Structure 1
Amino acid sequence: MTHEHCMTTDWRSFGPDMLTPALRAALGVFVREGYHGTSIRSIAGAAGLSVPGLYHHHRSKQAILDAIVTATMTEMLAHSHAAEDDSDGTARGRFDNLVEALVRFHMERRDHAFLASTEMRSMDPQVLARHIAQRDEQQRLLEAAISDGVADGSFVSAYPADAARAVSSLCVSIATWYRPDGPLTEDEVIERHLDFARRIVGAA
């Protein structure tokens, strides 16, 4: 897969998401009601469309889920690649930027990330395969930074792949609890999670 970080000039900033109004409306309904609890009629109503009007753009509820999750993962990967490109090129620098990018993404795109992680069970096999391929690309970025850090002495980890999964899980969980009006600022969440992530990889 070719990465698309050209779309992201500032990986620390987030403008409007990549969703159409209809997909954004569907995202809200999915998050509130769950995929299986959501009807095409309820999505159409939230989007201000008739059911035939919605079907004109998306052939099924599964296609809507696919479109939302694909857009979400594409944006996350774009930010991650841009963050890596913006680093000083060292393993430690790449790792820190990748972690920060993931933390920022899961604060800014909470609903998108929540849907992508919790509704894997609802994806048809071909949709799930595409989602896993994008998720695996994200994991490879982290794992490569960790492995390179172990090689140059920056990190101490006997299990880089497992460490990469642990760091990813840590960042993904942010979408379930972070609130902009909560007690922690964005910078505080980033600082704490960078500290947690560095400890996971045994940063020197």
Structure 2
Amino acid sequence: MSSSESSPSSTVRRTGGVNLEPIMSAAEQAFAEQGFYGASMRTIARSAGTSLSNLYNYFPSKDDLLLGVLERANGMLETRIAGALAGAGPAATERLRAAVKAYVGFSVDHRQAAVVALSEFRYLHGDRRAQLVEARDRTQAIFQKITRDGMASGEFSTRLERDATRAVLLLCATVPNWYRASGELTREKVAEMQADFALAIVGARRG
């Protein structure tokens, strides 16, 4: 079978209300630990406690399964950021701090999903890649609007709206590469630290 481990169909079939959590969790772990090419559909099916044919019934290729894992991760991230912003103040500085802390919290609490999102995205191509890019663009748009609002209000001194936003997102996304729960920094301290760094990137004014 090819590297994408394709079955005849090329689109994810409807689940009909079936709980796919065991499959998604097994796939997420496999992709995080073994990478896209190292993980096999057979091993994922075994870890999920299902048959290979049943796995292919819902995810006709390994590409589709990776897309499913990444879409789920992005959905959880969007929900967490939205919740944080709902409780934040109106100032761009407050909103950026809340959004960054939410993103970092997600990266720590769902480390495997964050690792897969950061390292395995490059294996998606064509329509699958376009689908995920669209989802990621929504997250970037949230941060970019905060940056734009901060520039307009005079809270942020940066004039590089898009580049500053990308730098902030990268700051959040790469936390799983170095954070360890057994380290000196607690989850909360890491989130606060990254938020401070993000505000420095956009040139947040003190006081």
What is the TM-score with the length of structure 2 in the denominator? Answer: 0.85
d(CA) in 2 for partners of 1:158, 1:94: 19
User: Please, which moves more after superposition, 165-174 or 34-43?
Assistant: 34-43
Match of 1:183 in 2: 184
Q: Distance in 2 between matches of 1:96 and 1:195?
A: 8
| Counterpart Cα distance in 2 of 1:110 and 1:176 | 9
Correspondence list, 1:111-190, <5 A? 111-190=112-191
**Distance change in 2, residues 1:19/1:195 (3 Å):** farther
Pairing 1:33-52 to 2, within 5 Å after superposition: 33-52=34-53
2: CA distance between counterparts of 1:177 and 1:110? 11
* In 2, Cα distance between equivalents of 1:184 and 1:201: 24
**Residue aligning to 1:108:** 109
CA contact (8 A) 1:29 1:46 kept: no
What is the CA-CA distance between 1:87 and the residue it aligns to? Answer: 1.1
Superposition RMSD in Å: 1.5
Q: Is the 8 Å Cα contact of residues 71 and 132 (structure 2) preserved in structure 1? A: yes
* Residue equivalent to 2:61: 60
The number of residue pairs the alignment matches comes to: 187
AA partner of residue 42 (structure 2): R
Contact 1:79/1:101, CA 8 A, preserved across alignment: yes
- Quick check: 1:19–1:71 contact (8 Å CA) kept in 2? no
Q: Is contact 2:93–2:199 with CA below 8 Å preserved after alignment?
A: no
Give 2:86's aligned residue.
Answer: 85
Letter aligned with residue 29 of structure 1: A
Q: Which runs of 5+ in 2 are unaligned?
A: 1-18
CA distance in 1, matches of 2:93, 2:37: 42
Runs (4 or more) in structure 1 with deviation over 6 Å come to: none
Provide Cα deviations, 1:124-162, integer angstroms capped at 9, x if missing partner: 311111111111111111111111111111110010111
1:195 maps to a residue whose letter is D
Give unmatched runs, 5+ long, in structure 1.
1-17
Alignment of 1:74 with 2:75, yes or no, is yes
1:98 corresponds in structure 2 to 99
Check the 8 A contact 1:110/1:176 in 2, yes or no: no
CA displacement at 1:19 relative to structure 2? 6.3
Distance (Å, rounded) in 2 between the aligned partners of 1:29 and 1:156: 43
In structure 2, how many angstroms separate the alpha carbons of the residues matched to 1:195 and 1:157?
Answer: 15
In the TM superposition, residue 48 of structure 1 has moved relative to its aligned partner by 2.0
Cα offsets for 1:6-62 (capped at 9, x unmatched): xxxxxxxxxxxx961111011111111111122211111221222112223322211
Identity of aligned residues (%): 33
